[in-house]
Amino acid sequence: MSGRTGRRSHTTEEDHRQQMLRMLDDRDIVRRAELDRFSSVRRNDDDVDVDSPCPIFDTWYMEGGADAVSRPTNFTPCELNVLWSIVRLHVTRYWNVGRGRRSQFAGKDVLFMTLAAFKHGGTWDMNAHVFLIKTPTFIKTITSFCRVLAQRVYDEWVRGKAVETNMRWLVTSGNTFSHYPCALNATDVTFQQANRPTGNMTEVMPYYSAKHKLYGLKVEVSVNPKGFAINCSQHERGNTPDISIFRNNMEFHSSMRVKSETDNQIPDEGPLREEFSREWAVLTDKGYQGLEAHLRCIHPTKGSNLPPEVQRRNENISSDRDLVENFFGRLCSLWRIVADKYRWSEDLYDDIFQVCVGLTNFHIESNPLRDTNGEAYAQRENRLRAIRDLVQRFHNSENVQ
């Protein structure tokens, strides 16, 4: 009896084993059939990184190529990587840290989005839509990032250029101004139209430029003979005279042009050298009349029917000062945020302008200024005049009615 039971048990176990083997074989067949649906050619997925530390930038680059980076930002992927490598440590240390809710975006992604927003200008809504981000989130992200970025960019590419700008360096490198080699830099003010401020007339009118007949903001920029900006002032309201902006920025102007002991060995045959023997000169426009009584300022002479020698002098000053307009032309060509009508908050303006000036210097390092940049600035100025005339005609027609 026990023998039969043992044989049945053995048979049952054998049947079960065979059944399981058939089931496993069936699974293998199904698995092989499933795999046969796919190609046996190996794909290179090295460029696909689902865990990318900067998914926004990488997606634009991987799917659109280098053109999808340079067109929105003014910089090639290589240039943007260089830029990021220089600001990364500062951004990592001071942005997206501390208490409170942190940004969901990586620093390099925010740099990419910031460059795109500055290049194309426009409204917050438009720029947020480009990256499929909710507008409030985009505003908060770019605003906080810009405040941190401005410090590093300005120190690296504007203050850094000011530190290396000295007369011995300009003379030995052959980069002095053509007609006035005694000048260390040229200075001018740029005006940008802005939205009409809210408030009563007392609060509004300081922003109104009598020259442009528009509301706006002004910034003074100083450029060395190599075409790099070495300073930009804090912004002023539109009705502030250019000479007042210069005086408000006197700390820079006074310290920048002081001759060092070694500078005394450099020949100086320029104007006002006897009155200001310890200073190099600054080139300005006609709006700075009277400043030469206080510092070594070279500017054109106002008036009509001037003697031929005075006219030639004016032309020579303007020729050297073309460099400032060339810089403004490059600045406004690269960054519409500082060229078109300014629509964002005024308290962010200085940070934005400093970032754009610094990044323009970064751009000039590999793409030196050209005369056509000055033509671009002239086009922008003529556009402002056209807007002014249009506004004036509109007001005149209202008065007639």
- pLDDT-derived band at 51 (thresholds 50, 70, 90) equals low
* pTM reported for the whole predicted model: 0.84
In this predicted structure, what is the pLDDT of residue 8? 58
Distance CA 195, CA 81 (A): 35
Judging by beta carbons within 10 Å of its beta carbon (0-12, 13-18, 19+), is residue 105 exposed, middle or buried?
buried
Q: Would the pLDDT of 157 be above 60?
A: yes
In this predicted structure, what is the pLDDT of residue 158? 98
In this predicted structure, what is the pLDDT of residue 42? 59
Distance CA 248, CA 358 (A): 21
Considering the chain, what is the average pLDDT of its residues? 89
Taking the CA of residue 223 as centre, how many other CA atoms within 13 Å lie in the half-sphere pointing to its CB?
Answer: 28
Helices 349-366, 77-94: axis angle to 10 degrees equals 140
> Is residue 203 a contact partner of residue 290, using CB atoms and an 8 Å limit?
no
Q: Would the pLDDT of 310 be above 90?
A: yes
Distance CA 283, CA 223 (A): 10
> Dihedral of CA 243/247/249/251: which sign?
positive
Average pLDDT of 263-270?
A: 93
Q: 24-50: per-residue pLDDT in tens?
A: 778 778 777 776 776 666 555 444 444
Q: State the amino acid at position 55 in one-letter form.
A: P
In this predicted structure, what is the pLDDT of residue 45? 47
> Is residue 355 a contact partner of residue 150, using CB atoms and an 8 Å limit?
yes
In this predicted structure, what is the pLDDT of residue 35? 66
> Is residue 284 a contact partner of residue 300, using CB atoms and an 8 Å limit?
no
**Residue 221 carries which DSSP code?**
E
More confident residue, 289 or 372: 289
Average pLDDT of 247-254?
A: 96
- pLDDT-derived band at 273 (thresholds 50, 70, 90) equals very high
Q: 340-381: per-residue pLDDT in tens?
A: 999 999 999 999 999 999 999 999 999 998 877 777 777 777
> Is residue 156 a contact partner of residue 360, using CB atoms and an 8 Å limit?
no
Cβ-based neighbour number of residue 90 at 10 Å: 17
Q: Would the pLDDT of 60 be above 80?
A: yes
In this predicted structure, what is the pLDDT of residue 358? 98
Judging by beta carbons within 10 Å of its beta carbon (0-12, 13-18, 19+), is residue 220 exposed, middle or buried?
buried
Domain ranges in the chain are 55-152, 165-334+370-400
Q: 103-145: per-residue pLDDT in tens?
A: 899 999 999 999 999 999 999 999 999 999 999 999 999 999 9
